[in-house]
Each structure stands twice: as C-alpha cells, then as structure tokens.
Amino acid sequence: MKLSHELTWRGFVNQSTMSDLTALDRGKLTFYHGYDAASDSLTIGNLAALMMDKCFLRHGHKAIFLTGGATSLIGDPGGKDSERSLQAADVIKSNIEKITVQIKRLFGSDALIINNLDWFQEIKLLDFLRDIGKHFSMTPLVQRDYIAKRMGEHGSGISYAEFSYTILQGYDFLKLFEDHNVTLQLAGSDQWGNGISGVELVRRVKSAEVHVLSCPLIVNKSTGQKFGKTEAGAIWLDPNKTSVFKFYQYWLNVDDESALDYLKIFTELDKTAIEKLITSFKQNPAGRLAQKTLAHEVTKLVHGSDQTAKVEQVTEVLFGEQDFFKLSEPEIKILRSELTNIKLQKDSAQTLIKAQLATSISDAQRLITEGAISVNGMKLEINQDPEWRSGSNLVKRGKNNFAIVQRD
C-alpha cells in the first residue's frame, strides 16, 4: 500500500496544503513533528501523532522530532480559554529529557531529536523582529479562531507572549528547512494555524514551497471527550504516571466501534491482518478479539513484550480462568501495586471489611452466603475458613472487585 493510501485508510488525514497527497508517494522527503514539553510525559493522544510519523518512516521518509524547549516556555494559546501558567526553565528541561526517552523507545535509531531552544537562545530580539516579524501580517493572526475568541468582548485576553507563539513556531519550520531541508510539517489539527505560519514564512523568506499535513484530534466516541482522558485524568506513556496494568486495561475496555478504529491508528498491523481480525471479531464480538489484540499491540509497542506478557497473565487471573498461584513473583507484585493490599484479619468477615469488599459483618456474611466471594479461585463458604496460603492470597467479590490478603 502506498503512503498516501495508508494515511487515508488509517484515518491520519485531516487538512493539508498539498493539493494531491499522492505526491508523498514520489521520492523521499524530510518532515518534522513538534512535541510540546509542558508535561513530563507524552499521552496516548500524542501516541496517535507518533503513529502517523511511523507511517512515513515505514515508507522511507526521514523524521525530525522537535521538542519545544523554547516554545514551551511561552505556551501555545491554541485551545485555551485563558493564559497558561508559565513553567520554569529547569522544569521544561527536565520534561524534554523524559519525553526524549519515550520517543527514542518508540523509534530507536530513527529518532533524530532537536530542541528549538538551540537556536532561539542565540537570537537577538531586534534581529528577530526585523528579519522574521516583518513577514507576519497582524490581520490574519488576529482573525484566527482561538485568538479572536480570547480578544473578543467576553474573552479573557491574550498576552503578547502567547500571541507570538505562532511566529516562533513558524520560525522553527524556516530553521529546519535551512538546516535539514525539511519540506513537510506533520501536526495535530489544533496546530493547523501554526503550521500555515511556517509554510508562509518559508515562502516569503526562501521563495520555496513547503507543506503541512494535519491529523484529526481523536475523540472518544462513547464519551465525547478528547481521546486519552478518563475520569481519573490522562493516559500517560510513562509507567510511573499510568501503570502498565492500567495502560493495558484502558485499551482492553474500549467499546467495539472504537476498538476497530484504534487498530488502524495505534498498531502497525497491516490492512490484510486488520481486515481479517475485524471479520473474526464480528463473528464473535463477545470474544473481544479486537480489544485483546489492540491492548496487546499498543502495550507491547510502548512498554515492551516482557511487561505486556506480565499484565496479560495478571488479567487472566483477575478476569479469566488462570490460576493465581501460577503467577510469578513479578506478576504478583503488579497485583499488589494495583489492588487493595491488607494483612489477614482474625476472621473472614473482618478480612472482607478491611479489604473494602464488605461494609459490615452482616454484609460480609450475606456476600459469602450468596457465593459472591472467592479466595484463590475457591468459593468461600459460610462458617468455613478458607485455606489462606502463606504470602499473597487473591480475594475476589463478584467479577470486578479484588484485594490481596497477606498471610505471614
């Protein structure tokens, strides 16, 4: 499949200055994709854009990943109703170091990562205003939706610092064109206006034609929320912010329609493999093959095969038929970190209350009588103590409530 066709099939095409995307199929180019450093980790929303980058690399194009060491000090006003809080330079530097590790993990030797602070910290203000600022007309800038909204009657206003963001990003494109012959910017749809600034600046300064291609921002179809957000917050690539177990569970629990879309966006499975998988899934939706494949592929991509195998084993114990005692110590450690973890109490009812699986002794007795409680896979019987093994024991209430009970 040619690149232009793959981008369209996977759902990566939103807007482009290119009149004909098939131009991407002729010859090789160098593109850049910028990543904000406002946080110390990328999210799965960023991962969608990174997967678009992977498409280009698979087809032989060269990538430059631009981290915003300078622009993140200002903050992008796009999509914001009020002024961002400025972050300290040392925080931005630390964020870039952590994001760089994540990008290198995904792309290996294909990752050429550049920080735009490298050039902005050397620029003199008057030179920048004379050489770059003069090429930007105020009229189209103030008409951009996010700026017009902030400057309108009920808007919160916008500082010159945030207003200048699009000029800084435009200069990024010019600098990368001059130094690395970059002729294409990839971006999310919220960066379209900033991308146009770069295209226009290169045209004015260098009389050269460059382009921008944006991918749509993904929205969770079942909630209407911006993709990657839950009630608990964003889903991060950093396992210290979103554990590998929770990361895997997020993908495993997406709705059917979304799972079929996400297989195209978030995995490197080819069209033949995905269409075959979709056919099998539709024959037996209850088997959740789409979600299981999606969770496996994305977790493996971000966290590696070893961690993926561990969380799959743990998931089988919690929600499948896997024997708890077949788990390795590292796998049990995952459970201890994710579930309520208590010491064995004087009796089963007190243990269930301490584990927050029952609210009272009578509630605990009712649950046991109804057969709703199991210990290490065995149903707990009323007036019968379970076989508590030395070390960790898995207690389950119903289908989705668990605790680890430690017996010395």
Burial (CB count <10 Å: 0-12, 13-18, 19+), residue 88? exposed
pLDDT at residue 83 tops 80 = no
Strand-pair partners of 393: 405
* Confidence class for position 84, pLDDT limits 50, 70, 90: low
Number of other CB atoms surrounding residue 56 within 10 Å: 24
- pLDDT in the model for residue 80: 61
pLDDT at residue 20 tops 70 = yes
Percent above pLDDT 70 for the chain: 93
- pLDDT in the model for residue 381: 86
* Tokens (6 digits) for 40: 């110390």
H-only helix segments in 40-88? 44-58, 71-74
Q: What is the DSSP string of 274-304?
A: HHHHHHHHHH-GGG-HHHHHHHHHHHHHHH-
CA nearest neighbour of 166 among 204, 206, 137: 137
Lowest average pLDDT, out of 134-138, 264-268, 329-333, 342-346, goes to 134-138
Residue pLDDT, tens place only, 331-364:
999 999 999 999 999 999 999 999 999 999 999 9
- pLDDT in the model for residue 114: 97
Query: The whole model's pTM is what?
Result: 0.90
* Confidence class for position 86, pLDDT limits 50, 70, 90: confident
Amino acid at 310: K
* Contact assessment for residue 60 and residue 110, using Cβ atoms and an 8 Å cutoff: no
Average pLDDT over residues 40-58: 95
pLDDT at residue 151 tops 80 = no
* Confidence class for position 163, pLDDT limits 50, 70, 90: confident
Number of other CB atoms surrounding residue 298 within 10 Å: 23
Alpha-carbon span 405 to 392, nearest angstrom: 6
Alpha-carbon span 404 to 34, nearest angstrom: 43
Residue pLDDT, tens place only, 310-336:
999 999 999 987 899 999 999 999 999
Give 120 or 387, the one with higher predicted confidence.
120
- pLDDT in the model for residue 408: 84
pLDDT at residue 158 tops 90 = no
Alpha-carbon span 373 to 379, nearest angstrom: 6
Average pLDDT over residues 238-266: 95
Lowest average pLDDT, out of 56-70, 147-161, 270-284, goes to 147-161
Residue pLDDT, tens place only, 186-220:
999 888 988 999 999 999 999 999 999 999 988 77
Average pLDDT over residues 225-247: 84
* Confidence class for position 139, pLDDT limits 50, 70, 90: confident
